[in-house]
Amino acid sequence: MEISMEQKKATQEATSKKGGFRTMPFIIANESFEKVANVGLHVNMIMYLTNEYHYDPATATIILFLWSALSNFMPVMGAFLSDSYMGRFQVISWGLIIDLFGLILLWLTSIIPQARPPHCKLSIERCETPNGGQFMFLVSSFALMSIGAGGIRPCSLAFGADQLYNPENPENERLMKSFFSWYYVSVGVSIAVSATFIVYIQYKAGWVVGFGIPVGLMLFSTVMFFLGSSMYVKVKANKSLFTSFAQVIVVARKNRQLPLPPNKSDSWYFQKGSSLVEPTNKLRFLNKACIIKNYEKDLDSDGMVVDPWNLCSVTQVEELKALIKFALCRRSQFSVFTHRRTMAPIAVGDVIPDGTLSYLDEENKPQTVSIHSLAAGKKVVIFGVPGAFTPTCSLKHVPGFIERAEELKGKGVDELICISVNDPFVMNAWAKTYPENKHVRFLADGSAKYTQALGLELDLTERGLGPRSRRFALLVEDLKVKVANVENAGEFTVSSAEEVLKAL
């Protein structure tokens, strides 16, 4: 955000009495302990959601992604409030308090048994997922931590720089570089400690202690920050970012017919003392907002803009460009996540997600069954095929498991399950074409939801076949994947009954 000359002068006067390196222990300690308290929670949180809240890995990953997305978005709002209304000190202060309350709520979910579903063993029984109240209690803690992060992250570094910034001091540049170096060193060490120490404590001492320590660290971080309050340089808010952005858009539209001046032209408007004296070549249509059309009409005797809705500074233009690039970057990251399940199929060591598949009973009535009810406490082979009655599936893949079923049973396999993205009527008709079959169970995944949960969907829309399943074979023991043989599209090399027998 561009700083006015009056604001810079006020900051420099305040710096002579306040700020300086004496404030650094409070600021760096605050940032370090806040990082230790929060980073370690993200690392191991998926285990908490799957083991204590009984979410399947896919749902837990989505919850954590949304938490991370909100935590990364809220700093935009924090920066806006800091620059436009409240100032950095107030935003950091409220951020610390709100973050602390969020951590306390999360800690309470581990202390109060009623705050989470009843305890059970995922490997041997079907577990309850949280009810609405339990879910809201958990999500509230995540939301408060995200809001708190939105106040702390965008302001801490700039607030530290406020304490040292004094352009009249010949040592100013060296002091600023020293501060930035120590700041980033403290952040790096804090993240490393958090990702190891906090996770280790959670694993060894349990969730109550593992969440309690971050609460204590965050409380200490908050106290340290407020202890230095009387010594801080507290720069006031300048002006509204949204107003500035609106001015750039309006002026750029007004000047849309003007040709762009050449580089290093004196037609660009920038404030005295600004390091940005000409705009970049990216999003060049916005550059027209900072073109000086008439020096006498656009600028006053002090070189300041007469009408901000008629001329903007280079800094204002570049701030809007930075926001646009940030928004595009976040959109790209979200697009990558939405396709993550396709790129990362289930692998060895994963717990298979639960899901409901369908079949026809002896009276040809549709029935459903859960995968966990079939696989919990057992050794199971689950193999998937792209479609019923297709050549490779009908002539090679399925017959191989029917012929080798006795051998697989002799190796300790309790269940043989064939899954395909078809309705139960088709699967029932297909199963009847194998009168010799005694052990392979045909189950339908008509909507492809379970196939998608496995990350093994195959999009054949362009061939007129819609969503299908990749060809695969999984060896599962007590819900954990021991062997995951997944074929590339159109191949049949590693998912056969012979390959599964080799792995047993």
| pLDDT tens sequence across 84-128 | 788 889 999 999 999 999 999 999 999 999 998 888 765 555 678
Check whether domain 356-503 has CATH 3.90.260.10, yes or no = no
- Residue 3 confidence (pLDDT): 46
Residues 6+ apart with CB under 8 A from 178: none
Q: What is the mean pLDDT of the chain?
A: 85
Closest CA to 398 of 300, 313, 502, 492: 492
Under the banding of pLDDT at 50, 70 and 90, the label for residue 137 is very high
- Diameter over CA atoms, the chain: 98
d(CA 503, CA 495): 11
Gyration radius of the chain's alpha carbons: 31
d(CA 53, CA 115): 10
Under the banding of pLDDT at 50, 70 and 90, the label for residue 239 is low
- Residue 332 confidence (pLDDT): 56
pLDDT digits (tens, 9 = 90+) for 410-439: 999 999 999 999 999 999 999 999 999 999
> Is the Cβ–Cβ distance between 405 and 430 less than 8 Å?
no
d(CA 100, CA 222): 8
Q: What is the mean pLDDT of residues 327-333?
A: 65
- Residue 1 confidence (pLDDT): 42
DSSP readout, 333-402? HHHHHHTHHHHS---TTPBPPP-EEEEE-TTS-EEEEEHHHHHTTSEEEEEEES-TT-HHIIIIIHHHHH
Token pair of 336 as six digits: 């990558």
Residue 82, pLDDT > 80, answer yes
- Residue 301 confidence (pLDDT): 80
DSSP 3-state assignment of 475? Answer: strand
Of 150-154, 248-252, 458-462, the least confident = 458-462
Neighbour count for residue 59 (Cβ, 10 Å): 16
- Residue 126 confidence (pLDDT): 67
Of 135-144, 157-166, 488-497, the least confident = 157-166
Q: What percent of the chain has pLDDT over 70?
A: 91
Neighbour count for residue 257 (Cβ, 10 Å): 6
Residue 197, pLDDT > 90, answer no
Of 234-238, 272-276, 372-376, 429-433, the least confident = 272-276
Q: What is the mean pLDDT of residues 397-421?
A: 94
Residue 184, pLDDT > 60, answer yes
- Residue 17 confidence (pLDDT): 65
Closest CA to 499 of 477, 471, 479: 471
- Residue 125 confidence (pLDDT): 58
Of 305-309, 333-337, 464-468, the least confident = 333-337
Q: What is the mean pLDDT of residues 142-159?
A: 89
Q: What is the mean pLDDT of residues 160-186?
A: 81
Q: What is the set of active-site residues?
A: 393
> Is the Cβ–Cβ distance between 347 and 454 less than 8 Å?
no
> Is the Cβ–Cβ distance between 487 and 494 less than 8 Å?
yes
Question: What CATH class does 24-231 carry?
Answer: mainly alpha
DSSP readout, 131-179? -HHHHHHHHHHHHHHHHHHHHHTTTHHHHHHHHH--TTSTTHHHHHHHH
Helix axes 207-227, 24-51, angle to 10 degrees: 160
Query: What's 440's DSSP letter?
Result: E
Under the banding of pLDDT at 50, 70 and 90, the label for residue 136 is very high
Q: What is the mean pLDDT of residues 291-298?
A: 87
d(CA 388, CA 275): 67
Closest CA to 233 of 152, 158, 159: 159
d(CA 27, CA 160): 7
- Residue 6 confidence (pLDDT): 46
Residue 405, pLDDT > 70, answer yes
For the chain, which residues make up each domain, given as ranges?
Answer: 24-231, 241-330, 356-503
d(CA 342, CA 101): 37
Q: What is the mean pLDDT of residues 361-388?
A: 92
- Residue 97 confidence (pLDDT): 94
**Residues β-bridged to residue 268:** 291
DSSP 3-state assignment of 480? Answer: strand
pLDDT digits (tens, 9 = 90+) for 1-56: 444 444 445 444 444 567 777 888 888 888 788 888 778 788 888 888 888 888 87
Residue type, position 387, single letter: G
Token pair of 200 as six digits: 């280790």
- Residue 105 confidence (pLDDT): 95
Under the banding of pLDDT at 50, 70 and 90, the label for residue 342 is very low
Query: What's 214's DSSP letter?
Result: H
Torsional class of 134: left (φ above 0), alpha (ψ -120 to 50), beta (otherwise): alpha
**Residues β-bridged to residue 254:** none
Give the length of the chain: 504
DSSP 3-state assignment of 3? Answer: coil
